[in-house]
Amino acid sequence: MNRIGRFCALIFLCSAFPLFSVDFGLAVSQIGEFTNVAGDGQDEYANYTGSYIPWITSELGKAAMLYLSVKAGMKYETGEWEVRAPAEGEVFPLDSAHVLTELGRFEFSWRPISSMYLEAGRIRFQDPLGIIAAGLFDGLNGSVVVGKARISGGAYYTGLLYKGTAKILMNSRDTAKYAVPFHYGEMWDTYFASRRVLVSASGEFTDLTPHTTLAVNALGQFDVNPEALSGESPLNTQYLSVLYTASPLRSLTLIGGGVVGAAQGETDSQLHFAATLGVEWEVPGALQDMLQGEFLWTSGAGSEGAAAGFTGFMPVSSITKGQVYTPKVSGIMTAKAQYSARLGRSFAVSMEGTYFIRTDENTLDGTEYLPPMERFLGGELFGSLIFAPVSDFMITLGGGAFFPSWGNVFEKDAPLRWKLIGGLVFSL
């Protein structure tokens, strides 16, 4: 069936439901970046990323809804298109470069009663702390409200996602496959993300004490890559996370949470950990400004920890906390402060500073680092400006730098890392 036939079939299916209605549109994103972060931090380069996302949404009766989007985009870096042939290293010229397409959010949702919600498709999932797994996943989940508690559960698969978007990099095998450039001729081997299954069960409890929320999540990750199924060092992980949020004042929110995890790989089962503390303060005044602070600690994979049965924190998604310097949240500690303000109806500004510290000697390594006994990586400053005169049009400008000289891990002559970025987002 061709594309037109599939689209007509979708419309026909939707029309079979009572009270059928359809809405559709196009979201466009154009982002340009100028930076020296790539490579050794000394060569300036520019890149451009353009994305076009047509979408359609339909109400299927009173209780169900369907949403479908497809993303088409291309990335251009320093005179070369990102798409290359893996075998020869050939760079495609402009007239033969491929447009990369991927299925965006695809969601069928159903609310048979007000206290129950079910959804399936390519749907959003994130653990309570947002440091284990976050993004779009193929699967299904459901939730039910019982009193002041919401109980939910879901199952998800990562093997049909585009690897460049999903960034599932849990071990060296995942990293090696991710590094192979995408090519249509070898799509099965170069397009898809690492194949892993996630199973989640959560509980969210409000007002156990006044103005508080407690979220508890149990998450299991199972390696179903072909190598793992054949017995070649599968990596399975489990996580128990807790997040506690309290608002002693209307303008003040306090956040605390932690993760205890286990991993089974080449060695016996090992434990890994993470902890976070945060504060949000809505400053009184006409600017609608906010001050935020966040502290994050993740366990490292040092030799002493390995001997005691501990290892570096193992997130499923490659989540980062920096804008310019972007190490994965494993074997690292960060302290972040952010100020944001809304200037009238159309403008918003934000400034943030982040400091990075290693928590082990092995997770972050390379020729640019000094011997492993040092821990202070350095700090980053980043600012952004948003102009949004209407809800479906936005211009963003941002820039910042990472200062290796603020720490003692990088070589003394390590250059400043900087990034400038601009974006245009609108919808039709």
Question: Does residue 397 lie in a domain region?
Answer: yes
4 confidence band (pLDDT: 50, 70, 90): very low
What are the helix (H) ranges across 324-399? Answer: none
CB contact at 8 A, 311 and 299: yes
Most confident of 63-72, 184-193, 302-311, 411-420: 63-72
Share of the chain above pLDDT 70, in %: 85
Question: Does residue 280 lie in a domain region?
Answer: no
Question: Does residue 425 lie in a domain region?
Answer: yes
Measure the CA–CA gap between 78 and 376, rounded to whole angstroms: 32
155 confidence band (pLDDT: 50, 70, 90): very high
pLDDT, tens digit (0-9, with 9 covering 90-100), for 117-147: 999 999 999 999 999 999 999 999 999 999 8
CB contact at 8 A, 314 and 261: yes
Question: Which tokens in the block code for residue 339?
Answer: 């100020």
pLDDT at 95: 41
Question: Does residue 228 lie in a domain region?
Answer: no
Residue 271 has pLDDT above 90, yes or no: yes
Residue 198 has pLDDT above 70, yes or no: yes
By residue range, what is the domain housing residue 382? 334-428
Q: In 291-324, which positions are buried (b, 16+ CB within 10 angstroms) versus exposed (e)?
A: ebebebbbbbbbeebbeeebbbbbbbbbbebbbb
When the pLDDT of each residue in the chain is averaged and rounded to a whole number, the result is 85
pLDDT at 186: 80
Which amino acid is located at 12 in the chain? F
Residue 41 has pLDDT above 50, yes or no: no
Question: Does residue 15 lie in a domain region?
Answer: no
Question: Does residue 326 lie in a domain region?
Answer: no
Residue 60 has pLDDT above 90, yes or no: no
Q: How far is CA 220 from CA 71, 256, 345, in A?
A: 29, 22, 44
Residues facing 37 on adjacent strands:
none
CB contact at 8 A, 53 and 69: yes
85 vs 399, residue with greater confidence: 399
pTM recorded for the entire structure: 0.86
Q: Which of 18-32, 145-159, 210-224 has the lowest mean pLDDT?
A: 18-32
pLDDT, tens digit (0-9, with 9 covering 90-100), for 350-376: 999 999 999 887 777 655 666 666 789
91 confidence band (pLDDT: 50, 70, 90): very low
pLDDT at 205: 95
User: Rounded to 5 degrees, what angle do the CA atoms 112, 116, 118 make?
Assistant: 80
Residue 21 has pLDDT above 70, yes or no: yes
CB contact at 8 A, 124 and 135: yes
Question: Does residue 412 lie in a domain region?
Answer: yes
Question: Does residue 165 lie in a domain region?
Answer: no
CB contact at 8 A, 104 and 69: yes
pLDDT, tens digit (0-9, with 9 covering 90-100), for 288-347: 789 999 999 999 876 555 556 788 999 999 999 999 999 899 999 999 999 999 888 899
Mean pLDDT, residues 270-279 taken together: 95
pLDDT, tens digit (0-9, with 9 covering 90-100), for 25-35: 999 999 999 88
Question: Which tokens in the block code for residue 172?
Answer: 């060296």
Domain count of the fold of the chain: 1
